[in-house]
Chain A
Amino acid sequence: MKKEKLFSLFYILPIVIMILFLFVFPLLYSVYISFTNLSLLHFLTYSYVGLRNYLIIFQYGYFLELLKNTLIWTIGSLLTMMTLGFVLALILNQTDLKGRSIFYAILILPWAFPGFISILIWQGLWVDPYGMMNRLVLPLLHLPRVNSLTSTTDAWIELIATNDWLSFPYFMTVFYSALQSIPRELYDIADLDGANAFTKFFTITLPSLKRTIAFVFITSFVFTWNNFYPIYVLTGGGPGISTETFIVYAYQEAFSYNNFALAAAWSIISTIFVIVLGIIVIKYTRILDSFT
């Protein structure tokens, strides 16, 4: 028994070693420099300053604003993306739908296409009043124009809409495959019992997808929380810092102000938040129970 336990360690060893080097080391390094004053002014020789960086973070007023922004960004994006993906998956899952593969292939494109150009294209599309969104699409839908330079709400609309475009196919894929794995018999039995569509949805579909929704929620929550590029490219955190999240601010702190220690402290604080929230969700939905 013990020998087998030791032997099985060999299988786990590669990933553990890689994780130690590629995730734990940067984490430890960031924790380490967050207790120093490493910046461009103290680059080659720097000293220990204790909790000073953390005190600065909480003292100078941006913490709550950034937390609020990060929550708006993460939860706003997730709710819309997941709903969109879920609805599309439900639609595609209908047995009498024709042309499913074609639609699926088209709808998966935003996720498949390189994001680095997509984000730039979207930046051009949102320019007010010349970009196509403001010139063509929004007027066609009788919606007001969106100008992210002059309004924070508009900036959030722009950011979340773009993020939705980038990621909804992922959710659609995951939910669709989960829906496909629900055995037909369950629905047939419910039909025999005279259940209508709503009942079937709430008693069969949703409970079967619980685990999928939870798993996908937690991974995407973390990914969106740490997602840097869309905000940086589209609004740069503006106007002011009203769309700036923890990660964008930490990046600016590191590369505009060259204050690496403070940036590391911000990253640590952000990570602590996301870990706490992650633990809550993991515990609440008991995803990792399958490991016992």
Chain B
Amino acid sequence: MGSKVKKIDYKAISKTLVAVIIVVVIVIAIGGIYAYLSSQHSSTPMPTTSSTSTSVTSTTTTSSVLNTSNPQALMQLVGLSTAPSTPVTITVWNSYSTSENQAFNETLAQFEQAFPWIHVQVTYGVGVGTSQFETAAKAGQAPIVYRDTSDSGGALFAAGLVLNLSQYLPQSVTSLYVPTAIKDWELNSSLYGLPDNVNYIVMFYNKKFVPYPPNTTEQLVQIAESVNKTYHVWGIAYGAGDEYGYRFAAWFAGFEGQIFATNNGKVVPSLNSTAMVNALNFWYNLTYNLKVNYLAPSTGAGGAEGQLFVANQTAIIFDGPWDLNAYLQALGPNLGAAPLPLVSQTGLRAAPFIGSTGFLIASPQASGATQLQIKAALIFVLYFTNYQADLRLWEVAHDIPANLQAYNEALSQLKEGMLKPTYLNQIMEGILEQAQYGQQFPNIPQMAYYWNSFHQYASEFFANKINSTQAVQGMEQAFIQALVQNGLMSALIPLPILPPFQYVLALISVILTPMVVVISPKKRW
């Protein structure tokens, strides 16, 4: 009885197995053949885009200063002489915080009064740099207007998902904005968005422990040590092992490093330098030797760094003005803000990325927008980055304005000490001072591959698994590999190619195991 049952068992099982293998092979074959047959694939047909651009440039040459608050001027700017008879709806994805939304809604009310023929459908609570935009774009369902950061917007623009504003607006539009801000939104001399704020990190300090902010890194270390000794709180809380390189780039620049270099006209990474080694060692020293820096696992007001700061458990953190409200509420007059210090070794200031958030318009392929909707969207983005809108953001949410007029107004308000409460003036002055010592936030597509490469090796370095030289080399290599894999760099630079052993191992484990399983005799458990 035993052997007969075994035989039937075996046949039945192997039939199933064979069936499964056949199905898998068919699936792969279908996928592969389909991909092969449609070798050049375009997802949606391209509508004509640039037909109306020529009419724009003629009208505004007389007025040298554009007035983006005047409805008539705005309509002329996009080539409309009168308001159209049928109303048009535009979809906007709003990524403002709750406090910023107060300003946004006021501006929205004004906008709807000025342009009754434009209905705005706002989706609140969207994040910046979200993949949801890309997914929606692929399905042709992207919103017409999206508020995003300049680097994420740059990647979307390079992908063809964002409208090239240079084709629709005159060059003079750029003069309305702070130069550093508008430069963030230019890629290959095409403008792809309009900024509504400028953002970068600054050094926040607690005046209870730190009477005057450090100007140099030597002073920083001294202050941190004395705070640690006297008050038994952390001098600094900076999670360098957790971050993705956004803040560390400031220190990298301070030690004379550059993320990118141009080699024969090509953009190549240059993380592999003594500057990075020195910057890493500096922070390693503060964390493990002097023990004045807390390697926090999370940043921001909601993270470990911010929580320690508001609980008076650390004297200095590095964060941006977007978290200002949380710190103001907690520390009140004890809050101070100052630019990042100067690196004593090199004499250069630690220069954070000067980035910018702003409005971009999705290309018609991504959103399915009509020409009229595009014009309405152009009016929208111009209006919401104009003087009043930006000034509102400054006054309500303390966003650093990107609109030049608003920026100057903000500066004069600070000089006259007009902000309430009074200690806020000095804080904002400290924050604005940093703008002079920043570096441009690269918005080229290559930038997207910096973050993970930095994070992987920096986290290993701060975990004491590798030394700084290995970390720096690793970062550079990972960066280059990512660029090569994604087609942004040709593989001329030799890359570590693994021995064929890996191939064979993978092949065995993936394909031959089922066969081994089929052939092996049945075992009773």
Contact = CB atoms under 8 A, between A and B. Distances in A.
The answer to whether A and B touch in the complex, with CB atoms under 8 Å apart, is: yes
Interface of A: 24, 27-28, 31-37, 39-48, 50, 56, 58-61, 63-64, 123, 127-128, 130, 148-152, 210, 238-242, 252, 254-259, 262, 269, 272-273, 275-276, 279-280, 283-285, 288, 292
22 contacts: A27-B27, A32-B34, A33-B35, A35-B36, A36-B35, A41-B158, A44-B161, A44-B365, A56-B485, A58-B502, A59-B497, A63-B506, A64-B505, A127-B304, A130-B308, A150-B464, A239-B463, A240-B465, A269-B510, A273-B509, A275-B24, A279-B17
Contacts of B155: 40, 258
Contacts of A150: 241, 295, 462-464
A63 B502 CA distance: 9
B295 A149 contact: yes
B28 interface: yes
B17 A283 contact: yes
Interface in B254-301: 295, 297-298
Contacts of B513: 276, 280
A39 B36 CA distance: 18
Interface in B475-499: 481-482, 485-488, 495-498
A127 B156 CA distance: 36
B507 to A, nearest CB: 9
Interface stretch (B88-96, B111-119, B345-353, B446-454): B446-454
Given A43-B161, A149-B242, A256-B448, A58 B17 contact: no
Nearest to B35: A35
B207 interface: no
Contacts of B30: 28, 31
Given A48-B39, A256-B451, A279-B517, A239 B459 contact: yes
B496 A61 contact: yes
Interface string B25-67: 0011011101110111111100000000000000000000000
Contacts of A262: 485
B42 A276 contact: no
A128 B27 CA distance: 48
Main secondary structure of the interface of B (DSSP, over half): helix
A259 B304 CA distance: 31
B154 to A, nearest CB: 11
Interface of B: 12-13, 16-17, 20, 24, 27-28, 30-32, 34-36, 38-44, 131, 134, 137-138, 155-156, 158-161, 239, 241-242, 295, 297-298, 304, 308, 365, 445, 448-449, 451-452, 455-457, 459-460, 462-465, 481-482, 485-488, 495-498, 502-503, 505-506, 509-510, 513-514, 517, 523, 525
A41 B308 CA distance: 41
Contacts of A24: 27
Contacts of A36: 35, 41
Given A58-B503, A150-B241, 9 more contacts: A41-B488, A56-B485, A60-B481, A240-B459, A240-B460, A275-B24, A276-B513, A276-B514, A283-B13
Contacts of A148: 297
Contacts of B486: 39, 41, 257, 259
A240 B463 contact: yes
Contacts of A37: 487
Contacts of B17: 279, 283
Task: Tell which of B39, B159, B485 has the most Cβ of chain A within 10 Å.
Answer: B485
Nearest to B12: A292
Contacts of B161: 43-44
A130 B498 CA distance: 43
Nearest to B512: A276
A36 to B, nearest CB: 6
B460 A43 contact: no
Contacts of B34: 32
A44 B44 contact: yes
B134 A285 contact: no
B510 A44 contact: no
Nearest to B241: A149
Nearest to B304: A127
Contact of A240 (B39, B457, B488): B457
B256 to A, nearest CB: 26
A41 to B, nearest CB: 6
B428 to A, nearest CB: 31
Contacts of A210: 525
Contact of B36 (A46, A48, A292): A48
A41 B445 contact: yes
Contacts of A240: 456-457, 459-460, 463, 465
A64 B159 contact: no
Nearest to B445: A41
Given A41-B488, A149-B241, A239-B460, A279 B31 contact: no
A28 B460 contact: no
Contact of B28 (A31, A47, A283): A31
Contacts of B24: 275
A62 to B, nearest CB: 10
B481 to A, nearest CB: 6
A41 B41 contact: no
Contacts of A39: 486-487
A276 B28 contact: no
Contacts of B308: 130
Contacts of A151: 463
A257 B4 CA distance: 56
Given A41-B159, A256-B452, A284-B525, A149 B31 contact: no
A149 B122 CA distance: 40
Contact of B463 (A32, A58, A149): A149
Given A240-B463, A257-B452, A283-B17, A64 B445 contact: no
A113 B251 CA distance: 43
A35 B517 contact: no
A288 B25 CA distance: 22
Given A127-B304, A150-B462, A279-B17, A239 B241 contact: yes
